[in-house]
Structure 1
Amino acid sequence: MNDLTQCVVTPKVKLDGFDSLGVGVHRASTIVFESAEAYATRGDRGDDGYTYGLYGTPTTRTLEAKITALEGGLRTFLVPSGQAACSLAILPLVKAGDKILIADTAYPPVRDFADRDLTKFGIEVEYYDPTSLSDLEARMDERTRIVWCESPGSTTMELQDIPAIAAIAHRSGALVGCDNTWATPLNFKPLEHGADIVAEALTKYFSGHSDVLMGSITVASEDLVGAIKATLGRYGIGVSPDDASMVLRGMETMGVRLKHASQAASVICDQFAQSRLVGSVLFPPRPECPGHHLWKRDFSGSSAVFSVIFTPEATPHVADALDVLNTFAIGASWGGTRSLMAPMPVKRFRTARPWAGADLVLRISIGLEALSDLQTDVAAFLTCIAQAAGTDRADDQNWVRLQQK
């Protein structure tokens, strides 16, 4: 070969005897074929065959297979983010004239997608009270194609009775989709509880290090595969094998990270609950959390994300007090190694189940730092709020010292 040609043509490498624990990163756009006939019949390779990089490489297919097994599903599709997972789990399965019912506590960007895009395509969008089966039943009709769930609900943590919702939806011929990002399939498997589609933000606990954006859609039925696959192809949606390899690596420690972080979250929840600056702590494992009995019945564990509602006197000072944090970072998303706090508005994202409290809920994600450092940070945070509110809160500091002893 000419030197220029040798720069371009790479000999095939035999992998006999090389068996790495890590999954290889296979980057590709073009897939080549051994003959003209193989190219002409490439469609016969089926869903698991390789035809073009956009439709999968050995790296992305490995990640899909691992997620499918965890979810107890039939097939998984990878998309560029958690929001993409939610929107692309819905869009391929609805058409003009259909209706979709969405839990009122769903992730706010899902509402935005539904209100701006689905309605533009002639799809009717309604929101239902996620805690009321009677409200859901009243809104069901023959045009309802999908009932969308998120359990627990975004920010305010309401649990949904997925088996009962699935029974109602399926009686009317509707599908059930569920955003399972909070729990991950390690703590809850929606498909095993009656859902037809599950979406995950792999950005969070799966990758686990706040440096990858990716989402997954897993389906329970072969009937759903073709529509989703075709839509992803038409829209040109794929993921990087490099990013997929990072999610594969993150998955290997997801179990221990979740266990450690959820245990720490329980302690930090108690610390907040001890303060008279706090009205309530929203964390499904806590008995006072809405739907706790459903969490206890259906979930095998918890993630480390919870929310805090402050008293009316304390609420105006919460945002400014974030500036005293040293160990916690201020930021959106969650599920990484770093603990985060983020004040979240609620009222404008509720229609079927209006939010009666203050329009500031503090969402907290516990990471992997030393628990004592997190406790110290929370104590300083609460003290700052107390001082701004003109309240003596020395007992919050004493709580931390007692716990550390």
Structure 2
Amino acid sequence: MNDLTQCVFTPEVLANGFNPLGVGVHRASTIVFKDAAAYASRGDRGHEGYSYGLYGTPTTRTLEAKLTTLEEGAWSFLTPSGQAANALAVLPFLAAGDHILIADTAYPPMRELAETDLKRLGVEVEFFDPMSADDVAAKMRKTTKIVWCESPGSTTMEIMDLPKIAAIAHEHGAIVGVDNTWATPLNFKPLKHGADIVTEALTKFVSGHSDVLMGSITIKDTALLKPIRSLIGRMGIGVSPDDASLVLRGFETLGVRLRHSERVALEFARKIAAHPAVEQVLHPALESFPGHALWKRDFLGSSGVFSIVFKPEAAAHVATALDTLKVFAIGASWGGTRSLAAPMSIDGFRTATSWSGPGVILRLSIGLEDETELWADIDRLLAALVPEIDVSSEGPRSAAGRG
């Protein structure tokens, strides 16, 4: 071969003796075939075969396989973000005239997709009280195709009785989908509790380093595979093998990161709940939380994300108090190594239920920093909310610790 040909041909190198722990990054758009007959019959390879880079490479398939095993499902798909996973999980199963029921506490972009795009396509959209299986039963119709859940609920952490809600949905022939991003498959396995589809924002805890966007869809039954795979292909949606390799790397430390943030977050939640500026701490693992019994029954653990509802006189000063933080960063998303604080709006994102608290509450995500320094940061924030209270004294912290 001349030099120009050598530039585009890749020599085959024997892999004997090369067996690394890290997953190789396989980049590809075109997949070549040994002869014309193999190309003509490429469709026979099925969903597990390789035919074009859009549908997977060994790198992305490795991540999909890991997710499928942990979710205890039949197959997984990767998407460019968590919200892309939510959208691609419902769109294949809805048409004009169909009806979708969505938990009132679902991730706001999912709510906006329903109220904007699904309605524009002629889908009837309705929201239900996530704490009431009876509300789900009352709102089911003959045209209901999907019941979309998120447990805990976005920001306000409501825990759903998923087995009961799934049974109601299945009685009416509807599919049940669950956004499982808060728990990850290490803390909750929706497919074991009645769900048909589970989505994850791998962007958050699974990747764990705040440097990559990705989502996943895992299905319980291969009957759901073709509709999702076909839509992904028609829309030309794929993920980068390089990004998949970052998620695979983060996956390896998910267990230790999640258990650390779980422990520190629960300790902090108990201490914060005792502070006079705080109305309520929204954390499912707290014994005082309304959905705690359901969480304890169905979940394997908790995560490092929880929310704080301040009393009205303190809530008015949250924005100013955030500027006292030195270790926590102020930013969206969560689940990375850096702890984050984000004021979250509740007003305007509830229709089937009512929210009696302030319009904005504070969400914390606990990362991997020194926990003493993190608590000192929270002390500063609480002091700025209620300056006349000496939150640096041992009294409030000791009392909270005994709780």
Q: Identify the TM-score tier after normalising by the shorter chain.
A: over 0.9
Aligned counterpart in structure 2 of residue 398 of structure 1, from 382, 394, 397: 394
Instruction: For residue 127 of structure 2, give the secondary structure of its aligned residue in structure 1.
Output: strand
C-alpha contact (below 8 Å) 2:327/2:339 kept by paired residues: yes
1:376 paired to 2:360: no
Alignment partners' CA distance in 2, 1:242 and 1:400: 48
Instruction: For residue 348 of structure 1, give the secondary structure of its aligned residue in structure 2.
Output: coil
Alignment partners' CA distance in 1, 2:13 and 2:86: 39
The percent of aligned pairs where both chains have the same amino acid is 62
Give the total of aligned pairs.
400
How far 1:396 moved relative to its partner?
Answer: 4.4
For residues 270 and 9 of structure 1, do their structure 2 counterparts lie closer, same or farther at Cα, with a shift above 3 Å needed? Answer: same
Alignment partners' CA distance in 2, 1:93 and 1:140: 16
**Aligned twin of 2:172:** 172
Deviations 1:258-299 (A, max 9, x none): 000110001211221121000000000001222111000000
Instruction: For residue 314 of structure 1, give the secondary structure of its aligned residue in structure 2.
Output: helix
**Aligned twin of 1:74:** 74
1:286 paired to 2:282: no
Alignment partners' CA distance in 2, 1:65 and 1:13: 26
**Aligned twin of 1:113:** 113
**Aligned twin of 2:99:** 99
Letter in 2 for 1:95: A
Deviations 1:72-94 (A, max 9, x none): 00000000000001111000111
Instruction: For residue 111 of structure 1, give the secondary structure of its aligned residue in structure 2.
Output: helix
C-alpha contact (below 8 Å) 2:383/2:391 kept by paired residues: no
**Aligned twin of 1:156:** 156
How far 1:16 moved relative to its partner?
Answer: 1.9
C-alpha contact (below 8 Å) 1:97/1:124 kept by paired residues: yes
Alignment partners' CA distance in 2, 1:154 and 1:172: 26
Structure 1 stretches of 4+ moved >2 Å: 395-404
Q: Which runs of no fewer than 5 residues in structure 1 stay unpaired?
A: none
For residues 310 and 396 of structure 1, do their structure 2 counterparts lie closer, same or farther at Cα, with a shift above 3 Å needed? Answer: farther
Q: Which runs of no fewer than 5 residues in structure 2 stay unpaired?
A: none
For residues 382 and 38 of structure 1, do their structure 2 counterparts lie closer, same or farther at Cα, with a shift above 3 Å needed? Answer: same
Instruction: For residue 280 of structure 1, give the secondary structure of its aligned residue in structure 2.
Output: strand
Deviations 1:12-43 (A, max 9, x none): 22212211110000000000111011101000
**Aligned twin of 1:316:** 316
Alignment partners' CA distance in 1, 2:240 and 2:290: 39
How far 1:395 moved relative to its partner?
Answer: 3.8
Letter in 1 for 2:248: L
C-alpha contact (below 8 Å) 2:274/2:396 kept by paired residues: no
How far 1:401 moved relative to its partner?
Answer: 7.4
How far 1:325 moved relative to its partner?
Answer: 0.3
Deviations 1:170-214 (A, max 9, x none): 000001000000000100000000000000000001100000100
Q: How does 1:177-188 map to 2 (within 5 A)?
A: 177-188=177-188
- TM-score for both structures, normalised by structure 2: 0.98
Over aligned residue pairs, what C-alpha RMSD do you find? 1.2
Letter in 2 for 1:16: N
How far 1:313 moved relative to its partner?
Answer: 0.7
C-alpha contact (below 8 Å) 1:376/1:400 kept by paired residues: no
**Aligned twin of 1:333:** 333
Instruction: For residue 116 of structure 2, give the secondary structure of its aligned residue in structure 1.
Output: helix
How far 1:252 moved relative to its partner?
Answer: 0.6
1:88 paired to 2:88: yes
Alignment partners' CA distance in 2, 1:395 and 1:2: 76
Q: How does 1:228-307 map to 2 (within 5 A)?
A: 228-307=228-307
Deviations 1:332-364 (A, max 9, x none): 100000100000010200000021111011011
- TM-score for both structures, normalised by structure 1: 0.97
Alignment partners' CA distance in 2, 1:45 and 1:401: 62
For residues 339 and 397 of structure 1, do their structure 2 counterparts lie closer, same or farther at Cα, with a shift above 3 Å needed? Answer: farther
C-alpha contact (below 8 Å) 1:31/1:50 kept by paired residues: yes
How far 1:400 moved relative to its partner?
Answer: 7.8
C-alpha contact (below 8 Å) 1:375/1:400 kept by paired residues: no
Alignment partners' CA distance in 2, 1:108 and 1:328: 24
How far 1:164 moved relative to its partner?
Answer: 0.2
C-alpha contact (below 8 Å) 1:26/1:59 kept by paired residues: yes
C-alpha contact (below 8 Å) 1:379/1:400 kept by paired residues: no
C-alpha contact (below 8 Å) 1:186/1:255 kept by paired residues: yes
**Aligned twin of 1:24:** 24
